[in-house]
Amino acid sequence: MQKTNDILNSLLKIEGINGTVVVSRDGFVIDSASSVGMDVEAIGAVISTGFGASETMGNELKMGKMGQVTAEFEHGVLVSAVIGQEAIPAIVTGSNANLGNVRYQARKYIRELEADF
């Protein structure tokens, strides 16, 4: 999955993005890239669980298929989506990230990642 890793590393060049990861629905890390020390295995498990909860919420509210999930925290933002049936890419930012740009870049790069999944 060299192309996937190249895409994840390209995302790290965008100001404010600290890490990127692609996880399975089971929470296992498929690939990742980080500019800071992050426990990607723990992140994978948490992303999988949170994404599943968001999908359940959307299903219960009959809102259709989920596109992108954005979670804002005191010290950063997490943006995730779904690729195919089994992969969840996520971007982890610092507090200095431009949220609009991060969401735009996420959509752009997720389209590129879809070719691998």
Residue 5 has pLDDT above 70, yes or no: yes
pLDDT at residue 66, as a whole number = 86
What CATH code is carried by the domain that includes residue 96? Answer: 3.30.450.30
Task: Tell me which residue range forms the domain holding 105.
Answer: 2-114
Rounded to two decimals, the pTM is 0.87
What is the distance between the alpha carbons of residues 50 and 55, in angstroms, rounded to a whole number?
Answer: 9
| CA angle in degrees (0–180, nearest 5) for 102-105-107 | 110
Residue 1 has pLDDT above 70, yes or no: no
| Residue recorded with tokens 């723990």 | 42
Q: Which residues contact 112 (CB under 8 A, 6 or more apart)?
A: 7
Task: Report residue 4 as tokens.
Answer: 């996937």
Residue 51 has pLDDT above 80, yes or no: yes
For the purposes of burial, counting CB atoms within 10 Å of the CB of 22, is it exposed (0-12), middle (13-18) or buried (19 or more)?
A: buried
Instruction: Convert the pLDDT of each residue in 55-110 to its tens digit.
Output: 999 999 999 988 888 999 999 999 999 888 889 999 999 998 998 999 898 888 88
What is the distance between the alpha carbons of residues 76 and 94, in angstroms, rounded to a whole number?
Answer: 4
DSSP E strands, 16-106 = 17-24, 29-34, 68-73, 76-81, 87-93
pLDDT at residue 36, as a whole number = 82
Query: What mean pLDDT do residues 18-35 have?
Result: 92
| Residue recorded with tokens 């404010």 | 16
Number of domains into which the chain is organized: 1
